[in-house]
Structure 1
Amino acid sequence: MTIPLPLPRRYLVDFDPRELPHHFTDVVVVGGGIAGLRAALGVPASARVLVVTKDEVRESNSSYAQGGIAGVMDPEDRVEDHIADTLSAGKGLCDAHVVDVVVREAPDRIRELMDLGTHFDTVDGHVALGREGGHSHARIVHALGDETGREIMRAIIGQARARKSVRIWQNCTTVDLLTLDGRCRGVLVWDKRRGFALVWARAVVLATGGAGQLFRETTNPSIATADGHAMAYRAGVELRDMEFMQFHPTVLYLAGSARHLLTEALRGEGAYLRDCHGHRFMPDYDPRAELAPRDAVSQAIAAQMAKTRHPNVYLDLSHLDADFIRGRFPGIDRLCRGFDLDITRDLIPVCPGAHYMIGGVTVDDRGRSSLDGLWAAGEVSSSGLHGANRLASNSLLEGLVFGARVAEDVAAHLDASGPWQLEVPPIAIATARERRPAIDLDDLRKSLRALMWRRMGITRDAEGLADAARQVDRWCRYILPHDFDDPAGWAIQNMLTTARLMIAAAAERTESRGVHSRADYPAADPAWLRHITLRASGASEAPTGRSR
């Protein structure tokens, strides 16, 4: 498969290493979510670690996670059942070995979080366990009711800041990965205070998170602009499963307000989904009703919205104990009260939104990418855990487990490589480039997000994907060659690059599987029990991909 995505140059900006400041560290971690910081904490204290975060370190998808972490913590639960639930949700595309590894490590990794200072909710002295869609047992560990991510990140950030061997650069944009002679050597960064700088490292860990901002409706914060996916692609790294974006079924839908995630645990505790006529419709679509996996629930909601010609459906918790609900979901209770909604009495308007990017940098069970010297963990990666549809609360788990595994592998690499000696090479030389007329980046970003929601949303078809490809190609032709000098411009270039890869992969997969739903190919095809991988052939050349 050849993808006609223009890749006019290797780096987003031209630079001359002789004119920039240089920084040296043993390990650079790009991203400050659970995967990145767990990797940083796992590197031995004898090695220097630099964590680079695009925003404040507390601003990540991990911090916004509500539901919790899945793990077999109940003696009556079984690891084999968690494995089976994960494989079932993944619709045939999970890597069974990776699933086995992650699920078996989950309990110990969760207990490590407790040792690091995370306070999970308890009942009668034992860790409280919730249930979510797709799980056959209550196995979701949560904190502060519905603010699990915030509590976990509080503990991990505190630990990272206390480590003398770990430095954190906040509000610092990573522009590109530095590569030379087939190896990742570090990163090019920029911030308002330092300007551009080169950070050289013996190991680079990519943990930049997701791509939700490519879509008009999303649960992701504004920083989720697919930067890691795009910079890896420019560096020639293999990406996989880029057609698989998971849509969360329940996002608070109020015209004029920001979109807010309403955790799957609401349905796990018994909430119903009703349409605008009050009809509880999920049993019409799936025997598991509201506890079906996310792909099934999102697609059912979209179908019911189309059937009723209404822009949303509703969550109904009015039949549940009011005191229990307010105690179990204090954050959602506060949020809804701000909009004059009582979650114990009122119907809560919701619709699906882009939530989790399943596709990303292809990694093995140690987090190694196809590029020597580069590891990846968390949402930016494609580990094989999720297949075609992520099981609820397996995302924080993946970041936690792979962050630790990456750290172990990086430590082994540092030990094996011996003392570090680096002669700084002239990677790129500044050249004069044509300046184009001013571009309204805000308008372009809104247009791209609207296009992706229409054409690459919950349901796709060949005509819509072809239209999306034409439009994104047009934008790419005049945006990708442009010289920008601030993060907003680089983010748009990253979003366009990643969007084009996602569209190409979705057009290639002529079936419906998991979160990838094709109206023109509504059935799963056994011939498509394989992955689509993408890799740039080099600057100034059309990138190529393959399915396997």
Structure 2
Amino acid sequence: MTQDRPIVIGAGLAGLMTALHLAPMPVLVLARAPLGEAAASAWAQGGVAAAVGPDDDPARHLQDTLAAGDGLCDAAIAARILGAAPDTIAALLRRGVAFDRAGDGRFALGLEAAHSRHRILHAAGDGTGAEIMRALIAAVRRTPSITVLEHTEARRLLVEDGRIRGVLVAGPHGAMTLPAGRVVLASGGIGGLFAHTTNPPQAWGQGLLLAARAGAALADLEFVQFHPTALATGTDPLPLISEAVRGEGALLIDETGSRFLADSPGAELGPRDVVARGIFRHLAAGHQVFLDARQALGDRFAKRFPAIAAACRDAGLDPATQPIPVTPAAHFHMGGVAVDAVGRSSVAGLWACGETASTGLHGANRLASNSLLEAATCACWVAGDVAATPAVRLRPLAEGRLPPLPDPAVVRPILWRHVGLLRDAEGLRAALRALLPLAAGGGPASDPATLGLMLAVAALRREESRGAHARSDFPTHGAGRARRLTLNLAEAMQAAAGLADPVVLRA
């Protein structure tokens, strides 16, 4: 029989924190690239939200989170995660994370959209994610119980009798089957499914696809957050211009210098979905949109936001003297693998953590900087439950047939056009018609198209506009629709096959 060593799929913040919390239990971490590369965590600029200021408390943080979530947050889960935030910050400090401090030694707390208090902790200015990953990678390398397989990608979860039995991976030496009765998915989000994204291009939702093919339920797939301000340079992916820049007073203007969102709720610091759609509509009307930090920051820009300043310089821009061209881009997924309070999915032996999971914290629209907090906090609870779950006796598994290397290239324009910032039934059904043959084709586009198809079905089922999900044919909240929706792969494929009959696609 084979040792039942837990496997963590993904080496970002959620995956590494889970592995560290499992120590000294032996654990195997699968990383598609060398540690620190291809993980969205390292790209995070905004910071970690936590009620640690003298004028703040978890109740206020919860109130802001519930308001942003637009009626779909799980209030109990949100209260638990936000209440644990000070302990999570303390845990990150113990791991060696150096958060920015003010002159008096206290945390230098920033403000972001829809927060009622300054509660965003940063590190290295706009390099928060990189600093956290630096510290965690060093901690992982010091921990002998953690084995990291770099350049190794999970392609399928192996299931027998309704529970996880192993992982089929592609590594430097080809296909390999790893027996395991306990697997944690921590592989990030789905931004790479869209033509314009701030995420690493490899982050197209592999963890969700693995879970779906294993029979797990997914939740709230329709809620994709499009960041309002990506640097409009035409690169792929687009560099992010953190919301913290607007928190410092930068303004959104068009080519005439007009603040076209000045009269909308919150103006530049309104909810992300409102700001993103406002920019999208203004661009669609033929305007250009810029983020103007000249008055608010000027020569201080490069010191406060060194990474953003460097990205601007690479594009031939000086944010101290020039407005920055911006556009919305796919940024964060509120949906994911449906999990309970300790990260368990609907499949025995399978957990999810971080952006891959749908915990109920974010609801219909994530509050800024709650994502790093969620990943770091839930990793502790996931690890505790994995450790408390008895190991199973595993038999060696036969080598499985490796599916093709996934390539979302043909899927990305379909999702951007039809499942993007503004949706309607006609466009969503057009997406299904385009995605269905790709999903069934078995080629490189099959896995990304299958997940894209599930997103489109979920968006069709939610016949209302709520949070980040905007339907032009259902522009208001629907009566009785303030509930989370789950979907499995079989249901999605059946619905897609019946797309010619809209009735089939209703919840």
User: TM-score, length-normalised on structure 1?
Assistant: 0.87
Amino acid in structure 1 at the alignment position of 2:480 = A
How far the C-alpha of 1:118 sits from its partner, in A, is 0.6
Amino acid in structure 2 at the alignment position of 1:52 = L
Question: Distance between the aligned counterparts of 1:207 and 1:23, measured in 2?
Answer: 24
Question: Distance between the aligned counterparts of 2:492 and 2:284, measured in 1?
Answer: 43
Q: Secondary structure at the match of 2:136?
A: helix
Map 1:305-316 onto structure 2 (within 5 A).
Answer: 305-307=283-285, 309-310=286-287, 312-316=288-292
Amino acid in structure 2 at the alignment position of 1:151 = E
- Number of residue pairs the alignment of both structures matches: 499
- Seen in structure 2, the aligned counterparts of structure 1 residues 346 and 163 have a Cα distance that, compared at 3 Å, is same
Indicate whether 1:361 and 2:360 are aligned: no
How far the C-alpha of 1:526 sits from its partner, in A, is 2.9
> Residue 522 of structure 1 aligns with which residue?
475
> Residue 190 of structure 2 aligns with which residue?
211
Amino acid in structure 1 at the alignment position of 2:97 = T
> Residue 245 of structure 1 aligns with which residue?
224
> Residue 27 of structure 2 aligns with which residue?
49
Whether the 8 Å contact between 1:246 and 1:358 is mirrored in structure 2 is: yes
Question: Aligned-residue CA RMSD in angstroms?
Answer: 2.4
> Residue 58 of structure 1 aligns with which residue?
36
Farther-moved stretch of structure 1 (322-331 vs 357-366): 322-331
> Residue 165 of structure 1 aligns with which residue?
145
- Seen in structure 2, the aligned counterparts of structure 1 residues 543 and 300 have a Cα distance that, compared at 3 Å, is closer
> Residue 318 of structure 2 aligns with which residue?
342
Q: Secondary structure at the match of 1:273?
A: strand
Runs of 5+ consecutive residues of structure 1 not aligned to the other structure: 1-21, 434-438, 483-488
How far the C-alpha of 1:541 sits from its partner, in A, is 7.8
1:188 to 168, 175, 196: 168
> Residue 456 of structure 1 aligns with which residue?
419
- Which structure has more RCO (C-alpha within 8 Å, separation ≥ 6)? 1
- Per-residue CA deviations over 1:502-541 (Å, capped at 9, x if unaligned) read 0001011111000000111111113211122111349998
2:384 to 408, 420, 434: 408
2:484 to 515, 531, 535: 531
Amino acid in structure 1 at the alignment position of 2:191 = G
Q: Secondary structure at the match of 2:6?
A: strand
Whether the 8 Å contact between 1:533 and 1:546 is mirrored in structure 2 is: no
Whether the 8 Å contact between 2:168 and 2:400 is mirrored in structure 1 is: no
User: TM-score, length-normalised on structure 2?
Assistant: 0.93
Indicate whether 1:32 and 2:11 are aligned: yes
Indicate whether 1:274 and 2:250 are aligned: no
> Residue 280 of structure 2 aligns with which residue?
302
Question: Distance between the aligned counterparts of 1:502 and 1:449, measured in 2?
Answer: 13
Whether the 8 Å contact between 1:25 and 1:49 is mirrored in structure 2 is: no
> Residue 500 of structure 2 aligns with which residue?
none
- Per-residue CA deviations over 1:411-453 (Å, capped at 9, x if unaligned) read 211xxx26x5323366x8769x9xxxxx9987xx443211111
Map 1:125-140 onto structure 2 (within 5 A).
Answer: 125-140=105-120
- Per-residue CA deviations over 1:34-77 (Å, capped at 9, x if unaligned) read 111111000130x2100001122212010100010000110211
Indicate whether 1:328 and 2:308 are aligned: no
Q: Secondary structure at the match of 2:362?
A: coil
Whether the 8 Å contact between 2:23 and 2:146 is mirrored in structure 1 is: no
Question: Distance between the aligned counterparts of 1:161 and 1:57, measured in 2?
Answer: 10
Whether the 8 Å contact between 2:2 and 2:396 is mirrored in structure 1 is: no
> Residue 7 of structure 1 aligns with which residue?
none
Indicate whether 1:74 and 2:53 are aligned: yes
- Per-residue CA deviations over 1:264-318 (Å, capped at 9, x if unaligned) read 00001111001122111222322x11111111110111122223x13x4100011
> Residue 142 of structure 1 aligns with which residue?
122
- Seen in structure 2, the aligned counterparts of structure 1 residues 263 and 422 have a Cα distance that, compared at 3 Å, is same
Whether the 8 Å contact between 2:126 and 2:307 is mirrored in structure 1 is: yes
